[in-house]
Structure 1
Amino acid sequence: MKFKLLMFLSIVLMAFTMVDIAPNPISANGILTKSDVKIRMESENVQVELYKEHAIVECTFEMVNYGDHTDLEVGFPVMDFHHWSLGTYAVDDKSKFKIEVDDFELEESDIKVPEELDSIYSVFKNKWMMNNEYNRKIDSLYKSNNVKKLKNGTLSYSKKTDYKKVNKTRDALYNKYSSSFSISGDLISKFEELTKEKKYPWYVWKVTFKENEKRTIKVKYQLPSGIAYRNQYRYFKYILHSGAGWYKDIGKATITLHLNDFSLSDSKEISPEGYTIDKANNTIEWNLLNIEPTEKDDIYFQYATSEDKKIYNKATRKRRRQLKRLSKRNKN
């Protein structure tokens, strides 16, 4: 029996250890289209203000049409705006990014989902609304019964509160709504099949190109830093190869990382090669010419501050103590 318990606990600890070293899949992206057009990305300029906790990304794309007059949908791949998220749709997505076409800022109503994803988007949106409705009713229940939610997540009942009645009503609300706002694995799989495999962009906006016309598209957004579990390290990743679907190669690509509240000495890994470092301005920059990017060209910068190292080392020592206690129990 002790052996079985040891094996079970060892498997659990191993699973957590594997999670510890698995990074959260946060990554920044450029623009793409599912249309077969003769529009070339003449230049891609990516300016990143990188902070320990987040990155502000501003991308400028100079596009030229070498084909006939065309109307097309331009978009970008799925991006996670929260750590350990499912990478799916959310009602507040559009507030997380700003898009300009020739200095004209698009309204949220100008930004759509591809027609092929509209039915999936409707399901996500409905479930989000149901979840908000449930939360509003729970908040109303607590307020009317003098129940306070503390910072640690526990509830504080006043002496006059009939907590049995409150709990019964809360359980009834949960039973009523839980199936309405839960997202099935099949729905998430379908979403990933259509978006993460780049079959369709995540959100799109329409852009018209006349013959030989040059247009400038700017996209600005903020993302949390990529982070390994227990703060082993943080990272920034820009998916350069998402621009490979445009006509011919990318004429020029410039990617600049400006480090703000930490220093270059905190760097752990930088790729691909060919970058330059400006220590005086705390920047890392790639200048690429006539590139047809693949995954090996994606920008990756990994860093760990002294604070991150302390947190990770503390967690590592704790796990070692757990394993040591487990080993001792087995011997006894």
Structure 2
Amino acid sequence: MPPTDPPEVPGVLSAAEVDATARAIARAQEPSGAIPWFPGGHTDPWDHVESAMALTAAGRYDEAAAAYAWCRRTQRADGSWPAKVVGGRVEDAVTDTNFCAYVAVGVWHHLIATGDEEFAAAMWPVVRAAVDLVLDGQRERGELVWARGPAGWADEALLSGCSSIHQSLRCALALAEYVERPQPDWEVALGRLVHTLRAHPEAFADKDRYSMDWYYPVLGGAVRGRSGLDRIHRRWPDFVVDGLGVRCVADRPWVTGAETCELVLSLDALGRRGPAREMLAAMQHLRESDGSYWTGYVYADGKRWPEERTTWTGAAVVLAADALAGTSATSGIFRGDAPPAALPAGLPVGGSDCGCDAYVTGVPG
């Protein structure tokens, strides 16, 4: 399938401006295919995949394919990747479950954009090994612990990470169906996870100062409909700074571009396209003339924070623009309606399965 044109959001971002952002990401890409946070910076598997997705959404298929080839070459024997790599050297060997699971979202995203069956066949073993590894960290109730290190699995599960893994599992199941390799155990695991995300807030470490814990259950697809709208409205005053974007942390005087764009995607998934467009426009003060984006802005003293222009911030902008443009095959992936069909929802789980009174179907609502 020929590359698509970059998306555009009239009055906010032109196709040429989105292309400039994709080019800024591509300039940071290393010969190995790795996409670090910025030139000379470190690479982590989650932000690497997000940047690859932005390249795909902007029609830069070759650079995106190189990024996924890096995933194939660097995956460890247990299905994981290290949390931090600099110039090909491992600087943090910890296995982050969310980081590792996200390859499934990227692979499904690239496949629906390109229709490349050979790519799907090559990446299926990578996704299968990564998901199997991640599910080793699932607790009986359904949450997944956030990391595994030399001492074994961590004690904590994170709401934002598990919400992201929810989307990863849905994309992994879609890929499994595409390559005709059914994974019923993954369907059960997904059902248990969504039940926990909706019915058991006590399963997760208390991180409610952070905006990611606010919107990620919506972004990851576990909470939608009226429940999702109520969740967003409830803490809007805590995190949204009018005309600037979204705070990363509720009690700190800075806004960050990536969190703002992820809220854009969350609002779009809830059908709130007007506010989503306004949020994307609000964060454009972080844009540089070459299309790159500063990570954040400390509005209390008018300073950039931190001092790098990060690839993943630019990637979040491209993905938000793609969703709002609504013209590509990939534009619905965060809504869960990417072709050829809605993403799988997992098997329904009843409260009797974990001893609670709640019953949660696999259909987001």
Q: TM-score, normalised by structure 1?
A: 0.23
Q: Compare the two structures and name the one with the higher helix fraction.
A: 2
Higher-strand-fraction structure: 1
Q: Which has the larger radius of gyration?
A: 1
Higher relative contact order (CA 8 A, sep 6+): 1
